[in-house]
């Protein structure tokens, strides 16, 4: 499975993902997160290092981990060109990296990666990342919401197909369950708008009964 996942997270996908950086995706997440001064941060599935660009100068130390070599190569190059320091990028398996750094991080970000990982592997990742947090540390997860009507259409192949890399899109309750089973003490879940024009539909998410079909993204903040 790991080799299959690496194969579809290639240079072409890396180029497509880069286009999302101007969407405000990371800014929307950070608006709901409090990061302690001088925090040691782990960015799981770091991609091109978009989060680092937003955190530069705000944290003590940044570590980005990704299993896709095209992303790590790009992230290292961009950080070097920008003259960023106190940042480190690791081409590594997430669970293995976390096991080598127990209790080290104040904040762990997992932005738009859980939908790329099957249930069993994601459960192991969440547990390992909890172990990598300091007591009281937080894990932040951002991911598509399966209940969003567009995701439901993709699921049933109505007019569109799911992205090949998105093999495990989940709804709010399904996402929260992984953090509960991993033993996080406080779990706060909310929904966020889409980062494209579909964000205009988000006010409809407050409607009774049908509102969940207009909530495009899930944000979870879980405390160890």
Task: Please give the chain's pLDDT, 224 residues, in tens.
Answer: 445 544 444 445 444 555 555 557 888 899 999 999 999 999 999 988 989 989 988 999 999 999 989 889 999 999 999 999 999 999 999 999 999 999 999 999 999 999 999 999 999 999 999 999 999 999 999 999 999 999 999 999 998 888 888 999 999 999 999 999 999 999 999 999 998 899 999 999 999 999 999 999 999 999 99
CA angle 211, 28, 25 (to 5 degrees): 95
169 CB-near residues (< 8 Å, 6+ apart): 115, 143, 144, 145, 146, 151, 154, 155, 162
Q: Write down the pLDDT at residue 111.
A: 95
Alpha-carbon gap, residue 165 to 112, rounded angstroms = 11
What is the per-residue burial (b if ≥16 Cβ within 10 Å, else e) of 133-161? bbeebbbbbbbbbbbbbbbeebeeeeeee
Q: Write down the pLDDT at residue 133.
A: 98
Where do the domains of the chain lie? 2-223
β-bridge mates for residue 213, sequence order: none
Beta strands in the chain (DSSP E): 40-44, 61-66, 87-91, 105-111, 133-144, 186-192, 217-223
CATH of the structural domain 2-223, one choice from 3.50.50.60, 3.40.50.10710, 3.40.50.150, 3.40.50.11900: 3.40.50.150
Alpha-carbon gap, residue 224 to 221, rounded angstroms = 10
Please give the DSSP secondary-structure letter assigned to residue 170: B
Q: Write down the pLDDT at residue 20.
A: 56
Alpha-carbon gap, residue 33 to 121, rounded angstroms = 26
């Amino acid at each position: 499975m790991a080799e299959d996942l690496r194969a579809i997270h290639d240079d072409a996908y890396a180029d497509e993902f880069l286009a999302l950086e101007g969407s405000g995706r990371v800014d929307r997440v950070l608006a709901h997160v409090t990061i302690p001064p001088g925090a040691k941060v782990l960015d799981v599935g770091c991609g091109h290092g978009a989060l680092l660009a937003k955190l530069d100068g705000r944290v003590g130390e940044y570590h980005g981990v990704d299993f896709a070599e095209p992303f790590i190569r790009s992230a290292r190059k961009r950080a070097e060109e920008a003259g960023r320091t106190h940042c480190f990028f690791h081409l590594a398996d997430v669970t293995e990296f976390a096991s080598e750094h127990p209790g080290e991080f104040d904040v762990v970000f997992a932005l738009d990666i859980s939908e790329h990982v099957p249930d069993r592997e994601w459960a192991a990742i969440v547990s390992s990342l909890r172990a990598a947090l300091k007591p009281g540390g937080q894990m932040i997860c951002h991911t598509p919401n399966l209940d969003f009507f567009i995701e439901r259409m993709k699921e049933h192949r109505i007019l569109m197909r799911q992205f090949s890399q998105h093999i495990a899109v989940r709804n709010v309750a399904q996402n929260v369950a992984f953090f509960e089973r991993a033993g996080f003490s406080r779990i706060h879940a909310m929904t966020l708008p889409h980062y494209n024009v579909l964000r205009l539909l988000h006010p409809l998410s407050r409607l009774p009964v049908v509102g969940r079909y207009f909530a495009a993204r899930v944000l979870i903040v879980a405390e160890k």
